[in-house]
């Protein structure tokens, strides 16, 4: 019985710490903006990404700068893709 109050105090502290950590994680989570742009209801894809249509007529969305002969992150497909510049026929 002597240690019962101590066990209850520890449980109370753990519950309080857990609630505080949960609240902090919820408050500190901000939505991720692609390539550092602020997204508003009237934002279009072309405001944020450079849209590229490849030779197979597939659309890709790349950020800030597109590096030729290198890996670039495609936000449309959510993966890194090798980009190579070609000439139009």
**With 0-12 CB in 10 A as exposed, 13-18 as middle and 19+ as buried, what is 6?**
exposed
Predicted pLDDT at 10 = 86
More confident residue, 1 or 55: 55
pLDDT in tens, 38-87: 556 665 656 677 888 888 888 888 887 888 888 988 888 889 998 887 77
* Nearest CA-CA partner of 47 in 61, 28, 32, 26: 61
pLDDT in tens, 23-42: 776 665 554 455 455 556 66
Give me the residue spans of the domains in the chain: 1-31, 44-89
Q: Strands 50-53 and 79-83: what pairing?
A: unpaired
Tell if the pTM clears 0.85, that is, is over it: no
């Amino acid at each position: 019985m002597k240690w019962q109050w101590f066990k209850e105090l520890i449980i109370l502290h753990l519950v309080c710490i857990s609630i505080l950590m949960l609240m902090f994680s919820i408050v500190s989570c901000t939505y991720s903006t692609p390539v550092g742009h602020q997204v508003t209801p009237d934002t279009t894809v072309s405001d944020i990404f450079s849209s590229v249509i490849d030779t197979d007529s597939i659309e890709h969305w790349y950020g800030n700068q597109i590096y030729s002969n290198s890996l670039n992150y495609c936000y449309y497909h959510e993966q890194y893709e090798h980009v190579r510049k070609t000439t139009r026929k």
